[in-house]
Amino acid sequence: MNPEYERWTKPPFDEETRRELLALTDEKEIEDRFYKNLSFGTGGLRGILGAGTNRMNLYTVGKASQGLADFVNARTKDGSIVIAYDSRHGSREFALASALIFAANGIKAYLFEQLRPTPELSFAVRLLQATAGIVITASHNPPQYNGYKVYWSDGGQIVPPYDMGIAAAIDAVGDYTNIKKIGEEEAKRRGLLEVIGQEIDDAYIAALKSLSLEPEAIAKCARELKIVYTPLNGTGNLPVRRILRELGFRHVYVVPEQEAPDGDFPTLAYPNPEDPKAFEYALRLAKEKDADLVLATDPDADRLGVYAKDTVTGEYMPFTGNMSGLLIAEYVLSRRAAKGLLPKEGKGALVTTIVSSKMAYEIAKRYDLTVIEVLTGFKYIGEQIKLLEETGEHTYEFGYEESYGCLVGTHARDKDAVAAVAMLCEAAAFYRTEGRTLWDQMQTIYRQYGYFKEGLCGVTLGGADGAKRIDQMICKLRDCPPEQIGGEAVVAVRDYECGLRKELGTGGSSPLELPKSNVLYFELENGWCCVRPSGTEPKIKFYYGVKADDGASAAEKLEDIGSALMQLAV
């Protein structure tokens, strides 16, 4: 029997934890719970709820908080940490427990009174000039998951060297008995726990309203435009409804079955706006109300999924994350250009990731912007905002990634679905004044910049065996890269783990500028694809994209590459 399992079935572990573990009879289940410590990755913790070292519980969360407290105290004498949480099971308990651990370590904790979106946490860290922030969320993962994301003083998710430093501090905590504790009343009495809420909400909404570019268009069309919205039982309901109401939109219909916060996500197996199944109830309501737009935010309201009506067919058409991100980018940049608000001579920056649509380069060219490409993950986009401000070489104009996330403005340093909703609805109103729907505008964008199409597929492999198989797949592709994928010749391979780009034809190599990461990128003759293990799920992911002269040709090329990638995963 696993010795760590045996230890967890005895004091000082609490009775409920011991009872849960003693009831287990499946050896594989016990192995999965204890074969490793839940790893503190590049953004924090994420895992299945339950007892065990490889699970999200008060002990693993407490150890992470103690380690973060030690890391903060090693750098400042007057540290403070802002804490937010979502609707998931355990979120409130983990948030309060973390606040009291910080307080026990002499660090002031600002705890939101109720659940709040992740982007508001990012905003609050900067507003309160805090040392760090955490949000308890598993984003779009299934209901049995929860997570712990860490932000630094710039409002962005932690990046090197902070991520590695915090991970080392957590490891150094050692035994769970070394976690410091204090009571809630004592923490408040000593001024080390402050509950926050309305004042942060007001400042956050004011920041979002200041991003509006065409208020006249909203005033003209707001009473005509019909919007269906679902928060998927997460944190978006109140802030999304408030920003749309204060901007002037009048017809916003919220899906009743998915309105109230609920960690069971009773209508969904997977509360992810990337999944068409998440829109079943919203599309039903949209048809009933004859809505123009159908919007969904994930449980922590940093991702936005979109459907818009095609007035020709009457059907509601889905937007990928690339499509919605690029549509918002085109709207924001075109309106800023029209108002003379964009910098000249490439001084403005459009920031995106290596796995996002290459149409970003065409849009940037039109508006004389510089494209900055970063590794997968919005934390790297947020990091660029800080770096651009420090160097003064460029100004941040827009950032987006393919996974349904973008950031208009710099009020936050993470993707913000509440702001994206506001800007997308404004864009819908503006294009309506020109006689176009959002779907019409998307087709205009394709005709103008080219038919860029992107895809994503993957294989989920849970447990210890699954982790080994994912490692084996990537090692095989690294050691023996394919010469062609889906009929497209592989021109070069970028291996971000070793930091080299290798041309297959000549064998020549050159260094890569981005940080090292377990990522392989294949440059194809007429497209690209990228392979990486997921940082949030037990999954290997394949991203890919093409460009063609028309939509049908692009779709055909894309299907060939996607099929070939899935064969490589066998």
Catalytic residue positions, numbered: 139
- The alpha carbons of the chain give a radius of gyration, in whole angstroms, of 24
| 264 exposure class (CB count in 10 Å sphere: 0-12, 13-18, 19+) | exposed
Query: Distance (Å, rounded) from C-alpha 266 to C-alpha 147?
Result: 20
Query: Distance (Å, rounded) from C-alpha 217 to C-alpha 426?
Result: 7
Report the residue count for the chain. 570
Candidates 281, 215, 185; CA nearest to 430 is 215
End-to-end CA distance of the chain: 33
Candidates 288, 300, 340, 279; CA nearest to 117 is 300
Angle between helices 417-433 and 118-127 (to 10 degrees): 110
* Residue 106, Ramachandran bin (φ over 0: left; ψ between -120 and 50: alpha; else beta): left
Query: Distance (Å, rounded) from C-alpha 415 to C-alpha 411?
Result: 11
Angle, alpha carbons 369-374-375 (nearest 5°) = 160
C-alpha 462: how far from chain center = 21
Structural tokens at position 207? 């920041």
Quote the strand ranges of 313-387, DSSP E: 316-319, 348-353, 369-374
Cβ neighbour number for residue 335 with a 10 Å cutoff: 19
Sign of torsion over alpha carbons 41, 43, 49, 52:
positive
Candidates 63, 35, 34; CA nearest to 51 is 34
H or E element that contains 554: helix 551-568
3-state SS assignment for residue 66: helix
φ/ψ of 335, rounded to 5, equals -75, -40
In the block, residue with structure tokens 């403070």: 80
